[in-house]
Amino acid sequence: MAPVRLLLPASVLLFFVSSSCTTIGGLSLRPDGSPGPETCPEKALEAMRRLGLSVGDSSDVELDVNQTDTSPITLYDGPVESMLNSPLGTLPAVTRLYGRVWTGGPQVVIRYNEAHPPDEEPIPICAVARLARGQLKKKPESKPGTAILEFSSAGLYIVNSFR
């Protein structure tokens, strides 16, 4: 049997390791599985300045191009391809947006890091999908790793960091 004086430090260490946020690819996750804060890369900030995009600029976005105009839709943890429904600055409607979905918390979190206008090279950006009044809240029947949402579209907002 291990002496008590050895068990106590090991128990304290295990407590702190297990109660901290986990990380995936350097990004910290909150206890509910939603992503923690993340800085917007300088390359994206510069590209957004060149496009004339400012924090708070917004547009409408189709959350998953494979489920356009469907209700409800199911999103999965991981990469997502979305599409602008209306122009955003100099980016035309139908610009593809690439990012990541997290379904761990009560609200779905979607962060975008790339815009791909038609017939142009991809452009780094920082943007999030949002809807007022909890509309990105998962339906109760959502299974782990998925989120069933009422609507296939949301608002897209330019940000200078992810919170």
Task: State the Cα–Cα distance between residues 67 and 37, nearest whole angstrom.
Answer: 29
Q: What percent of the chain has pLDDT over 90?
A: 70
Q: pLDDT per residue over 59-109, tens digit each?
A: 999 999 999 988 999 999 999 999 999 999 999 999 999 999 999 988 899
pLDDT recorded at residue 27:
84
Residue 1 has pLDDT above 70, yes or no: no
Between 11 and 120, the higher pLDDT residue: 120
pLDDT recorded at residue 25:
60
pLDDT recorded at residue 126:
98
Residue 136 has pLDDT above 70, yes or no: yes
Domain boundaries 32-162, corresponding CATH code: 2.40.128
Tell me the sheet residues that pair with 128. Answer: 111, 157
Q: pLDDT per residue over 30-65, tens digit each?
A: 898 889 999 999 999 999 999 999 999 999 999 999
Q: What percent of the chain has pLDDT over 70?
A: 83
Q: Residue 15: which pLDDT band, with cuts at 50, 70 and 90?
A: very low
Q: Is the pTM of this model over 0.85?
A: no
Q: Where along the chain do its domains lie?
A: 32-162
The candidate with the shortest Cα–Cα distance to 24, out of 33, 12, 14, 11, is: 33
User: Do 116 and 85 contact (CB within 8 A), yes or no?
Assistant: no
Contacts of 146 (CB under 8 A, 6+ apart): 74, 75, 76, 77, 103
Q: What average pLDDT does the chain have?
A: 87
